[in-house]
Structure 1
């Protein structure tokens, strides 16, 4: 799967610097963990759920949930990100069993988890209907009956109206990052997929800036389209929630594993 190796390479290269995206990464972990925990408690009534974060990255959501008492397992297509997630979790007293895995082929038994999470625009790395359905079907398989699916993506319904060519710069001051991050977007002819160049300007310690660039591709999935794929993959009751209602920084889709 050539596209999988490209995504893995993108996050392998980003893993050491991912925290620089945040003004304060630990505060971001706490904020996102609190928002996701509230969804789990409201959806399942559990204060210690078995959670699979199947796109855990360096651990932002997984550690946040672990700090709130959930039993989290992490997987990610990037071995570098998984290694850092485990190390960062240990530094904060969180046990995070984790493995390198493609979300289209999860290495778990059927019905092993109460909750499956894939946050921070991970699913849109999958560029075809077949691949999105494959990932969602695997998430459903890993969930127990009536288990909870939690996905978050960019607000693509709004983004597609303008198809921007860049994002505003994000500045993270020391000690939390000391960098400037922005993105350039090059839209494909289909008007839905786009190539992304992720730029970080990082002080080199000698009064100069080092420029680090990583590249990947996304599919701007609308909420209606993703909801339909979720239903086709064995889920019911899909519901979109806004950042204003959840406290999470992206729109969130929740659904239940059908019986």
Structure 2
């Protein structure tokens, strides 16, 4: 899948991505609290400067901002980050956002204490070169000793079982109308990648409207993801289990080494670019 197609996938979902949650606001609060606990354990009490490098419509970014962190959100999808900015404004939260490829982040080196890449966003990248480039960029924008928090599906197990679908999720609106969301998975012959069909059944009077979106993932097992992080320069990788964190996916924590080099000309160019890209969240989609 091309980046143009992936951008279109999330642009098209931006206005209804939250409908996959039974209660999106509860999900925002729960996920923010789970990530905040990991941040505090690794970096000490905040607030911390955080980049959510695949913020989508803001599920993790909003939760972290509500807890007082200084969060910036980027995502490949302009539609998704625009939705995140609107949601932040509605909640009275500061959330600068930018449409950006995680392989070319528009910030100077060392800009953040932590980078979050959650909700299975990294596996949209389908080659080793793309994954390494994205992780290297996340490391570049971290300060020395900064923390990466990256979540994916538990692909070690999923590669073995090769599920064909996930269970339907049902959301009931205050007026009693229900939205049903489910996925079908079509595994490639290599057993490592799969095409996903994302179905939503939306109530339309006495019947249903069906919306279908399609994308592709690389099902990287945990040990391979950690190896890519190490190749990109991260140290001390640790996988945190959902049972321990309360987050809905396994989370990889890893550090940028403390003895890091300074920024170069490329960082300066990206620093100038961010002035044009970032929009204030106040006053202005990973698919898990």
Shorter chain as denominator, the TM-score bin is over 0.9
Residue in 2 aligned with 1:64?
63
Structure 1 unpaired stretches of 5+: none
Q: CA RMSD in A?
A: 1.1
> Distance between the aligned counterparts of 2:55 and 2:156, measured in 1?
25
Q: Structure 2-normalised TM-score? A: 0.88
> 1:176-195 maps to which residues of 2 (within 5 A)?
178-195=178-195
Residue in 2 aligned with 1:245?
244
Residue in 2 aligned with 1:257?
256
> 1:23-172 maps to which residues of 2 (within 5 A)?
23-172=22-171
Residue in 1 aligned with 2:233?
234
Residue in 2 aligned with 1:202?
202
Deviation for aligned residue 1:46: 3.0
> Distance between the aligned counterparts of 1:64 and 1:101, measured in 2?
21
Deviation for aligned residue 1:207: 1.6
Deviation for aligned residue 1:80: 0.3
Contact between 1:20 and 1:178, CA under 8 Å: does it hold in 2?
Answer: no
Structure 2 counterpart SS, 1:167:
strand
**Correspondence 1:212 to 2:205:** no
Q: Structure 1-normalised TM-score? A: 0.97
- After superposing on structure 2, the runs of 4+ consecutive aligned residues of structure 1 that deviate more than 2 Å are 175-178
Contact between 1:193 and 1:219, CA under 8 Å: does it hold in 2?
Answer: yes
> Distance between the aligned counterparts of 1:39 and 1:151, measured in 2?
11
Structure 2 unpaired stretches of 5+: 260-288
How many matched pairs?
A: 257
